[in-house]
Structure 1
Amino acid sequence: MTAAHKPVETILVDTTTIPCDGDGGALGHPRVYLNIEAAGRVECPYCGREYVLKEGAKSHAGH
């Protein structure tokens, strides 16, 4: 019997830089900062969550 897997989450965001830590507290993953590129979406390399830039949201300049 195989373990059931949770479907990958898709989260709408309004900023192009997103922190992700897997939302598991001590069971999550290291916090990483993901940058949404021209495609308007990015996937976390640790947990697979997909972050999608909301329609009409604009990228902002930062350091």
Structure 2
Amino acid sequence: MPTANPNPHHAVKGDAPETEIVHTARVACDGGAGGHPLVWLSIDPVLGWVECGYCDKRFVLEGDDGH
């Protein structure tokens, strides 16, 4: 039985095509080299990550507490 990945810092293969650790809760994504329109995303501080609706890239917020 598959289990949920409790730690978004350790992406399970197939979760997201690419994961980037960021230090701000607001990030921009254009899919790399203009792969899609530029979009701004806000990371929910409770969840700790957000995925781009175009390319599924995951942005994980690195907190000051070492996570």
Q: TM-score, normalised by structure 1?
A: 0.71
| Bigger-Rg structure (1/2) | 1
Identity of aligned residues (%): 45
d(CA) in 2 for partners of 1:42, 1:13: 11
For 1:45 and 1:33, the matched residues in 2 are separated by 11
TM-score, normalised relative to structure 2: 0.67
1:51 aligns with 2:59: yes
- Counterpart secondary structure, 1:12: strand
RMSD: 1.6
Greater relative CO (CA pairs within 8 A, separation 6+): 1
Match of 2:41 in 1: 34
**4+ runs of 1 displaced by more than 3 Å?**
none
Q: What whole-Å deviation, never above 9, does each CA across 1:5-60 have from its counterpart, x for those lacking one?
A: xx7110000000000000123xx100000000020000000001000001327xxx
5+ residue gaps, structure 2, are: 1-15
Looking at secondary structure, tell me which structure has more helix per residue: 1
**How many equivalent residue pairs?**
49
